[in-house]
Amino acid sequence: MSLRLQARKLACERDDRWLFHDLDLELCAGQIVRVEGPNGSGKTTLLKILSGQLADYRGELFWKGAPMHRVRRDFLANLLYLGHASGVKAALTPLENLAWYQALAGAPGDEDDRLAALEAVGLAGFEDLPAGQLSAGQQRRVALARLELMPRPLWVLDEPFTAIDREGVAALEARLEAHTRCGGCVLVTTHHALRASAGLRSVCLGEGGAGVER
């Protein structure tokens, strides 16, 4: 069964205000869906719902055609989620941080893989410093190294470009495109305009209305 994340008639209400309603969304292999909208329009909430973290919504979610609650284990095994908070422990070194994430995925992992992943995000030479001593952008890069390290098809990224420098942004964009070319799919929120590519679509969340797909 091919990768497919579907949302049907999704609606979420916060503080007596509809963040979005009647939102239909489909994410298939080879696609990047960019969620855009002003601050507070519910981008993060939508991502949390779609990654199975929030249960407080109306509508239905399907993964590979089956209802989400029945295939949650399989969904989580395919998902890589990067949230607002980077999930990087300040007291651990980048290598130790990545080792834990590898183990959390179920495999003990290999030190060489971790070093290669850190090098790929431009952190070669910083692997043994406590992450707390790194800059905000470098900490973000430690989190992004997980993209290199863990072969998961579905990426859900919440503002991955925050604090990343210009070269880093270009590299990450290229990485996203490469991932979709290999059959993966990406759901991303960002205020940064992504380079147009074949698989790119945008969903715009606006003032209390339905999401508009463009």
Partner 1 sequence: MVAIRATLKRDLVLLLRRRSEVLNPLVFFALVITLFPIGISPDPALLATIAPGLLWVAALLAALLSLDGLFRSDYEDGSLEQLLLSPQPLPALALAKVAVHWLLTGLPLALMAPVLGIMLSLPAGSYLVLALSLALGSASLSLIGAIGAALTVGLSRGGVLLSLLVLPLYIPVLIFGAGAVQAAIQGAGVSAHLAILGALLAVALIFAPWAIAASLRISING
The residues of the shown chain that bind partner 1, judged by CB under 8 A, are 51-56, 73, 76-77, 79, 81, 83-92, 96, 99-108, 130
d(CA 69, CA 62): 9
Residue 52 or 209 having the CB closest to partner 1: 52
Nearer to partner 1, 140 or 194 (CB): 140
CA–CA distance, 159 with 43 (Å, rounded to integer): 10
Q: Among candidates 144, 214, 146, 140, which has minimal Cα distance to 172? A: 144
The least distance separating partner 1 from the CB of residue 206, rounded to whole angstroms, comes to: 25
| DSSP one-letter string for 25-56 | EEEETT-EEEEE-STTSSHHHHHHHHTT----
Smallest distance from the beta carbon of 130 to partner 1, in angstroms? Answer: 8
Give least dist CB 214 to partner 1, A: 29
What does DSSP assign to residue 67?
A: E
Residue number with CB closer to partner 1 (140 or 177):
140
**Structure-token pair, residue 178:** 């490469």
Task: Name the nearest CA neighbour of 4 among 30, 24, 28, 23.
Answer: 28
Direct distance between the N- and C-terminal alpha carbons of the chain, in angstroms, rounded to an integer: 27
Q: Are 59 and 104 in contact (CB under 8 A)?
A: no
Nearest distance in Å: CB 118, partner 1: 18
Q: Cβ closer to partner 1: 44 or 202? A: 44
CB of 197 to partner 1, least distance (A): 27
| Nearer to partner 1 among residue 88 and residue 194 (C-beta) | 88
Whichever of 31 and 51 has its CB closer to partner 1, that residue is 51
